[in-house]
Copies of this chain bind each other. A is one copy, B any other.
């Protein structure tokens, strides 16, 4: 679709001429995300305030122009690729940390703030914003909220949604809604904060948020634990949590992940083991944290660990986390392409999920590396392949379908922290069921009757429901 000159003129009047981009080079930059998908938008408009977003949406709604809000475009589900064109709306100019409230332990931020920048800012005040997606250094709070992003620390601290206390969002017709606030308890009205969180820009565009902070833990101990058998690593996860210990993280890497990292980084990781866990304990009492990591080490040994090493200092710890974060990139040494999935299963099903994924890998003759947040059942099976080979690409599709089927069959779900976007839409009904999709569509229809907000993402495009 082409956007008519009169509308472009009005958009320029709203945000200023230099914030309306229409050159092919500029449009190209906003045509893709962290996946293989791409599609050129018709226009890129960069708003500088909630009021500007409101004015843009009012105009877009009137003219039924799709609006795809976007942070840094690091999404892994093609949730911000503008299939069908329309206006991409990067919120990056709105990057102010408006307030850090020390007494109430909250931060009020604009959507475009980089998550890492917020963390750094609050840590100066001995406060802590726990959610830590891998993309933390470049993804935005707005994007994190739109996808309800996770990360390793979510085991102890919970996901992004657990830290969103209030939002300012712009509805499809430009109306501005504020919901929630700085109160810890709030049961006044429906929970719009959590309805907007994770809705991937399909119900409204979040422009500001009030985030909960906690006190920054004073002490951290990190252990790297090796296992001859991956099953034992899974058993450790359940044993530690059943003992009443909630570590900050329990990260799993399988043997291929270990080897890839080791080849890339030469850290001395045990390349002959089936799995390692990175387990971190944190807290405010030095002895308490020490007791916790010792108790964890004991349980690891009881559940079959072949070695438990505790990082001696911050440098060693930083290196371990650098290793964990480099799993994704290091896989590039093995194959030209990778496709990372994001299934979540009940914790008890991790061993079975791992077994079935390995079986899928064997059957379809595709290397699948398994790593992820074992403590909360969120696994990232990464399929390695060569996109240039169409036959291989077909097998990749089969592997993805089989991985999703496994997750659902084990009582799990398609996505733990990446969102549905476009890529998981074909599998959505197998997970949530027909009625759930219909109810999603009813709510979408109620809030965005013309369907301009990120159309075709998170839920299938509307077909008129015959039921009501």
Contacts and interface: CB of A to CB of B under 8 A. Distances in A.
Contact of A215 (B175, B197, B244, B431): B244
A85 interface: no
A82 interface: no
A106 B442 CA distance: 30
A195 B198 contact: no
A428 to B, nearest CB: 7
A242 B203 CA distance: 36
Interface string A429-464: 001110111011011011101000000001100000
A147 interface: yes
Given A182-B346, A447-B442, A449-B468, A459 B189 contact: yes
A10 interface: no
Contacts of A376: 184-185
Nearest to A433: B178
A159 interface: yes
B104 A436 contact: no
A70 interface: no
A467 interface: yes
Interface residues of A, number: 96
A217 interface: yes
A183 interface: yes
A169 to B, nearest CB: 10
B195 A190 contact: yes
Contacts of A198: 187, 190-191
A147 B203 CA distance: 24
A377 B449 contact: no
Contacts of A246: 214-215
Contact of A445 (B105, B373, B446, B467): B446
A189 B413 CA distance: 10
- Which one of A186, A245, A246 has the greatest number of beta carbons of chain B within 10 Å? A186
Contact of A285 (B288, B431, B435, B439): B288
A288 B173 CA distance: 53
Nearest to A346: B182
A265 interface: no
A244 B284 contact: yes
A347 interface: yes
Interface stretch (A15-23, A37-45, A296-304, A417-425): A417-425
Given A179-B432, A190-B203, A215-B241, 5 more contacts: A103-B238, A103-B347, A185-B378, A194-B195, A215-B245
